[in-house]
Amino acid sequence: MAHYLQLSLTGLGAGAVVAVLAIGLVLTFRASNVVNLAHAAMGTYIAYVYYGLRNFNVASTQKGGNLVLPVFGVPGVVHLIDRPTVVTALAIALVVAALVGALVYLLVFRALRNAPPLARLVASLGLFLYLQAVMELRAHDIGAGAATLPLTSLLPNGVVRLGSVVVPTASFVLAGLAVTVAVVLGAVFRYTRFGLSTRAAAESEKGAILIGVSPDRVGLLNWIIASVLAGGAMIFVAGITSQLNPTQSSLLVVPALAAALLARLDSFAMATFAGLAIGVTQSGVATFQSQAAWLPSWLPNDGLRQALPVLLILVAITIRGAHLPTRASLVDSRLPVAPVPRRPWLWIPLLSGAAVVALYTLDAQWRLAIVVSVIAALIALSCVVVTGYVGQISLALYAFAGLAAFATAKLELAGVGFPWAPLVAVILTVVVGILFGLPAVRVRGMTLAVATIAAAVAIEQLVFNSPALNGLSGVPNPQLFGSNLGFLAPGAANFRPAFGVVAVVVLAASMLAVANLRRSPTGLRWLAVRSNERAAAAAGINVGSTKLSAFAASSLFAGLGGALLAYELPALSPQQFLVVGALAVLALTYLGGIATLSGALIAGFLASGGVLTRIQGGAAADTTTQYALSGILLILVAAFYPDGLSMAVRRAITRLHSVWLRGVRSRGAT
């Protein structure tokens, strides 16, 4: 028992970091209604700044003092001062944090103040992808990769003894800091004019202006505080855990989001409590898993620790939700227009035919690119159905694809033959998809988005990381009626076109099905629920089951994409299905047009390693640059073309068409 107590108290340190991140999320949400997915990524960048500055060795000639720049395309670092002390480096880092917070607000979120919630989410996604990519690139500039950065703890190394329980002092210090921050902010928000202004601005921008508050100044200040807090938290956590990694550190936002949601994105005290509780539970669960011998051996080492607290919060939020939004909650759920596809029976077969011709006439690299794009389009299509048509933001789709891929591979390797292995895998995926769609019956909007990230993290931590699934390879080629439909051919980098045809046919059939659904009674119900859940219920529509039908359809398409991946990839590994991939799927689909069929195709075209990459002539090596660019593009599209590229093109065509018609008419008249 004492052992558990000791480990739980040790978890206070990690919990404090989650708590401070959660407080920052509450701040930015209160100030500008943004659930900032890039919050921890901003903090991670600040940690890079700090440890980059401190990257020197007294004995060597290395001078350190290099400031890492977050801007793509300029020199990676500038030299500031030689051998800065801890205090100097910390001061510089926190000033940079304040600047980053201010810039992010002024350049991105101020402009999106009145944008639809999905656009705001996507913009924060763009920021996330951008920061991550820049950090990947800069890791080299500040000292031969992050692994060798001197990640020393800023906190005392001693321990506190409580009877037989020994706890690092640092844990208590961090927890104390977190509680102090919460108390101070709570007091500031309750008693000062700034706090009142923030609340006024959050309630109504017009009202705030009327009582003489500038929403801009209030927003700016909140973003600066949030960014400084995130920077401080990430500097501390990197020092304690000796880990700083663009992806893993940025994903600390997931437990922080869970804590912030439990606090209804409103209460600092509750966010802090929930954050600390997550840390303590995680440590306790880790001990439990390391000691309980009866747990199945396929369970990943770190799985329960990572997944359990987040899942518990997911359940809590779901239970707290309601079947329908209340009259008072003015939900703003404007989504991009969802046009009925024009003449799908014409252009889908035509495009498919062109793709098949390309598969048989172009070289193996092109074949690979086409197949990658087709599979990506299929996964994007699942996003179009659930997010575009029904308005349920799901970030678990990529995890569903991964589930289908692993299941297909596992079944194939167990000797289940071709049509049956993917069939069973896809059915399994649909069942899981419906299961993880259940929260959508009771929660909506951003809460649902976060719930689905939590689900994706749980699948990743509990399933993909399992030793039983590590490095699945040697999936046999699919055979049907004696013909070989496989992709991988003997010999290096050679690919068979027959598999490409299978993929194209699956995508074409799926797109035709979605086109049918869109104009059918089912499609009308989906759009009705997307528009207005209360009115839909009043019109006799079962809102819950309508949402679940969309989750089922969407996981079906994601599952088909995943099953194809099992045959396309020479080996499967958990790294291929990280949560970041899911963010990229939503990002690309949004870019293309999240509520249109052609949007899914554009997403496939843009996917890394797909046709666009091939046209650029590049191997997929430069994905990092591509991520950085697509991050920026995403923010721009969210701000200026919230309907996505395909609608921009469609409108341009319509405009050209009418100009042309006018030209024809005026010529006819003269």
Partner 1 sequence: MTALLEVTDLCVDYSGLRAVDGLSISLAHGTIMGLIGPNGAGKTTTIDALCGFVPQVRGSILLDGHPIDSLPPHMRARAGLVRTFQSIELFVDLSVEENLLVATSTSRWWSPFVDAVAPRRHVHRDDVNLALDTVGLRSLATARPSDLSHGQRRLVGVARALASRPKLVLLDEPAAGLDPAETASLGQMLRNLPELGIAVLLVDHDMSLVLDVCDRLTVVDFGQVIASGVPMDVREDPSVISAYLGGGS
Ligand X SMILES: Nc1ncnc2c1ncn2[C@@H]1O[C@H](COP(=O)(O)OP(=O)(O)O)[C@@H](O)[C@H]1O
Distant-in-sequence, close-in-space partners of 237: CB < 8 Å, separation ≥ 6: 14, 17, 47, 249, 252
Angle at 324 between CA 321 and CA 325, to 5 degrees: 80
Q: Is 271 helix (H, G, I), strand (E, B) or coil?
A: helix
Binding residue for ligand X, selected from 328, 330, 346, 414, defined by CB under 6 A = 328
What residue has token string 């004492």? 2
474: left (phi > 0), else alpha (psi -120 to 50), else beta? left
Q: Shortest Cβ distance from residue 590 to partner 1 (Å)?
A: 17
Q: Shortest Cβ distance from residue 177 to partner 1 (Å)?
A: 35
Where b means 16+ CB within 10 Å and e means fewer, 373-388 reads bbbbbbbbbbbbbbbb
Q: Are 237 and 15 in contact (CB under 8 A)?
A: no
Q: Are 607 and 372 in contact (CB under 8 A)?
A: yes
Site for ligand X in 240-269 (CB under 6 A): none
Q: Shortest Cβ distance from residue 114 to partner 1 (Å)?
A: 17
164 binds ligand X (CB under 6 A): no
263 binds, among ligand X, partner 1, none (CB under 5 to 8 A by kind): none
543 binds, among ligand X, partner 1, none (CB under 5 to 8 A by kind): partner 1
- Whose Cβ is closer to partner 1: residue 188's or residue 541's? 541
Which stretch in 122-130, 267-275, 325-333, 599-607 sits in contact with ligand X by CB under 6 A? 325-333
Give the distance, in angstroms, between the CA of residue 174 and the centroid of all CA atoms in the same chain: 28
520 binds, among ligand X, partner 1, none (CB under 5 to 8 A by kind): partner 1
Which stretch in 28-36, 320-328, 384-392, 433-441 sits in contact with ligand X by CB under 6 A? 320-328
Number of residues that bind ligand X (CB under 6 A): 3
Angle at 536 between CA 532 and CA 537, to 5 degrees: 125
Give me the phi and psi of 222, to 5 degrees please: -65, -40
Q: Are 372 and 614 in contact (CB under 8 A)?
A: no
Which stretch in 202-210, 324-332, 546-554, 626-634 sits in contact with ligand X by CB under 6 A? 324-332
Half-sphere exposure of 422 (CA within 13 A, CB side): 25
For helices 521-531 and 543-568, angle between their N-to-C axes, nearest 10 degrees: 110
140 binds, among partner 1, ligand X, none (CB under 5 to 8 A by kind): none
- Whose Cβ is closer to ligand X: residue 87's or residue 328's? 328
Q: Shortest Cβ distance from residue 324 to ligand X (Å)?
A: 12
Q: Are 551 and 436 in contact (CB under 8 A)?
A: yes
Rounded distance between C-alpha atoms, residue 162 and residue 135, angstroms: 41
534 binds, among partner 1, ligand X, none (CB under 5 to 8 A by kind): partner 1
- Whose Cβ is closer to partner 1: residue 202's or residue 527's? 527
330 binds ligand X (CB under 6 A): no
- Whose Cβ is closer to ligand X: residue 59's or residue 328's? 328
Q: Shortest Cβ distance from residue 269 to ligand X (Å)?
A: 24
Q: Shortest Cβ distance from residue 335 to partner 1 (Å)?
A: 8
Task: Give the single-character DSSP code of 496.
Answer: -
98 binds, among ligand X, partner 1, none (CB under 5 to 8 A by kind): none
* List of residues contacting partner 1 (CB under 8 A): 323-324, 326-327, 335, 337-338, 513-514, 516-517, 519-525, 527-528, 530-532, 534-543, 545-546, 549, 552-553
Q: Shortest Cβ distance from residue 329 to ligand X (Å)?
A: 8
- Whose Cβ is closer to partner 1: residue 513's or residue 636's? 513
Amino acid at position 257, single letter: L
Amino acid at position 99, single letter: L
Closest CA to 633 of 602, 578, 590: 590
- Whose Cβ is closer to ligand X: residue 71's or residue 328's? 328
Rounded distance between C-alpha atoms, residue 349 and residue 344, angstroms: 8
- Whose Cβ is closer to partner 1: residue 342's or residue 665's? 342
- Whose Cβ is closer to partner 1: residue 115's or residue 338's? 338
Q: Shortest Cβ distance from residue 203 to ligand X (Å)?
A: 15
Where b means 16+ CB within 10 Å and e means fewer, 301-340 reads eebbbbbbbbbbbbeebbeebeeebeeeeeeebebbebbe
* Maximal CA-CA distance, the chain: 100
- Whose Cβ is closer to partner 1: residue 301's or residue 531's? 531
Closest CA to 436 of 521, 527, 337, 310: 310
Angle at 108 between CA 104 and CA 112, to 5 degrees: 135
- Whose Cβ is closer to partner 1: residue 3's or residue 519's? 519
338 binds, among partner 1, ligand X, none (CB under 5 to 8 A by kind): partner 1
Binding residue for ligand X, selected from 161, 327, 343, 667, defined by CB under 6 A = 327
523 binds, among ligand X, partner 1, none (CB under 5 to 8 A by kind): partner 1
- Whose Cβ is closer to partner 1: residue 312's or residue 537's? 537
What residue has token string 């993929």? 503
115 binds, among ligand X, partner 1, none (CB under 5 to 8 A by kind): none
Task: Give the single-character DSSP code of 107.
Answer: I
Angle at 535 between CA 531 and CA 538, to 5 degrees: 150
- Whose Cβ is closer to partner 1: residue 184's or residue 331's? 331
326 binds ligand X (CB under 6 A): yes
Where do contacts with ligand X occur on this chain (CB under 6 A)?
A: 326-328
